[in-house]
């Protein structure tokens, strides 16, 4: 198995292809070098300045993790890794004065900086489900300046959603959740790009739905669909942030394909289906915020994502517990990934 390089935007045009397989490369520097040999002069000119120095407008994600190219050119690669390479969007690498002002408080977080904000601007997150989890997750991603957000939900707003699904308000009952959400999210931050999809996730379309996403957020309320997303993310090597809630308790785990257990390793058997279950709105509020935080950490490289661990939150006695979770070598989903 070789290293897969996915090219986006103008790099894709320059190379004349969207994906290249490189037999072997020791590190990111060697990979970029090999890539220009395969893809030719036009791509080389976009990646390197005339002195042969890598341009600081080049963004690289290795298995969904942003690489700081000032320090990370030596990041080691192995067979099966997926490397995404993309240029900045919306007119260049510089953040606009409006963006610098809007995101000032988070830019000052140690390790985040303008570089972290640019990574946010270039990233694409898919929030699957716009209910109790997807509402706060997409809200905090939009407020933090996620460049591209796809929101996916085929349902309509019901009165019984309103105790927890904070993007949908009283007058939205009967509207599509995607339409209701996109309106609120754009009102919060018009600088981001939001795409809404009114589709049901199926085994047939899930691979296509997650395509192009740097992170997928699990905003589902049922395990069959969660497992479909988990499987597609493992196959596509896309980080997947799992969240689930019931009553006053919730759980969280970040699935980094190839790096830790997948959702099937942690939950091998589908829990019994409950069409209706109780939820206090604040519970998905907590877990949905943490899902947004995990996505932001994966994109910017700040902090350490919850990989190989599962968090259990109990609002009843206000406890947060994490346990170690391990890969199952026989897992039907992630075995061999």
Q: Is 286 in the site for Zn ion (CB under 5 A)?
A: no
From 98-106, 154-162, 241-249, 264-272, span contacting Zn ion (CB under 5 A): 264-272
**Binders of Zn ion in range 1-60 (CB under 5 A):** none
* Helix/strand number for the chain, H first, E second: 12, 13
Tokens representing 243? 């969240």
The rounded distance, in Å, linking the Cα atoms of 67 and 45 is 21
* CB nearer to Zn ion: pick between 80 and 315: 80
265 contributes a contact to Zn ion by CB under 5 A? yes
The distance of closest approach from Cβ of residue 305 to Zn ion in the complex, given in angstroms and rounded to an integer, is 17
CB atoms within 10 A of CB 315: 16
Q: Rounded to the nearest whole angstrom, what is the least distance from the CB of residue 165 to Zn ion in the complex?
A: 30
DSSP 202-271: -TTTHHHHHTT-SEEEE--SSHHHHHHHHHHHHHHT--EEEEEEEBTEEEEEEE-TTTS--HHHH--SPP
Among 43, 137, 185, 262, binds Zn ion (CB under 5 A): 262
Only one of the segments 32-40, 80-88, 262-270, 283-291 lies at the binding site for Zn ion (rule: CB under 5 A); that segment is 262-270
Q: Where are the alpha helices (DSSP H) in 87-222?
A: 97-102, 104-107, 113-122, 134-143, 177-188, 206-210
95 touches Zn ion (CB under 5 A): no
Q: Which stretch binds Zn ion (CB under 5 A): 86-94, 119-127, 255-263, 316-324?
A: 255-263
The binding track of 304-333 with respect to Zn ion, each residue x by CB under 5 A or -, is ---------------------------x-x
Residues binding Zn ion: what is the number (CB under 5 A)? 6
Q: Is the CB of 261 or the CB of 284 nearer to Zn ion?
A: 261
**Paired tokens of 31:** 């990979």
Contacts 24+ apart (CB under 8 A), 11-14: 11/43, 11/46, 11/47, 11/85, 11/86, 11/87, 14/39, 14/42, 14/43, 14/45, 14/46
Structural contact between residues 166 and 137, judged by C-beta atoms closer than 8 angstroms = no
What character string, x for contact with Zn ion (CB under 5 A) and - otherwise, covers 215-254? ----------------------------------------
Out of 102, 168, 264, 297, point to the residue binding Zn ion (CB under 5 A): 264
Residues that bind Zn ion (CB under 5 A): 262, 264-265, 331, 333-334
């Amino acid at each position: 198995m070789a290293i897969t390089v996915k090219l986006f935007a103008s790099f894709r045009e320059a190379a004349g292809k969207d994906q290249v397989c490189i037999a072997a490369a020791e590190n990111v520097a060697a990979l970029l070098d090999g890539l220009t040999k395969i893809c030719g002069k036009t791509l080389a000119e976009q990646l390197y300045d005339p002195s042969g120095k890598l341009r600081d407008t080049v963004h690289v994600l290795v298995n969904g993790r942003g690489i700081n190219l000032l320090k990370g050119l030596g990041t080691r690669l192995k067979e099966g890794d997926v490397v995404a390479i993309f240029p900045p969007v919306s007119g260049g690498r510089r953040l606009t004065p409006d963006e610098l002002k809007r995101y000032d408080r988070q830019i000052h977080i140690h390790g985040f900086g303008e570089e972290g904000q640019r990574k946010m601007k270039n990233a694409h997150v898919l929030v699957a489900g716009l209910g109790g989890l997807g509402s706060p997750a997409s809200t905090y991603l939009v407020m933090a300046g996620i460049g591209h957000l796809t929101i996916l939900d085929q349902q309509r707003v019901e009165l019984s959603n309103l105790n927890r699904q904070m993007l949908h308000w009283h007058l939205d009952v009967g509207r599509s959740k995607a339409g209701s959400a996109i309106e609120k999210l754009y009102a919060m931050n018009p600088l981001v790009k939001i795409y809404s999809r009114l589709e049901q996730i199926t085994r047939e379309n899930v691979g296509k739905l997650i395509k192009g996403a740097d992170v997928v957020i699990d905003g589902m309320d049922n395990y069959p669909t969660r497992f479909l997303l988990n499987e597609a993310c493992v196959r596509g090597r896309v980080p997947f942030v799992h969240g689930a809630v019931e009553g006053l308790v919730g759980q969280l785990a970040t699935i980094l394909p190839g790096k830790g257990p997948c959702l099937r390793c942690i939950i091998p058997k589908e829990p019994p289906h409950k069409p209706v279950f109780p939820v206090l709105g604040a519970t998905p509020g907590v877990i949905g915020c943490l899902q947004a935080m995990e996505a932001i950490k994966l994109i910017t490289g700040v902090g350490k994502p919850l990989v190989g661990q599962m968090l259990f939150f109990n609002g009843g006695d206000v406890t947060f517990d994490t346990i170690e979770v391990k890969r199952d070598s026989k897992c039907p989903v992630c075995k061999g990934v």
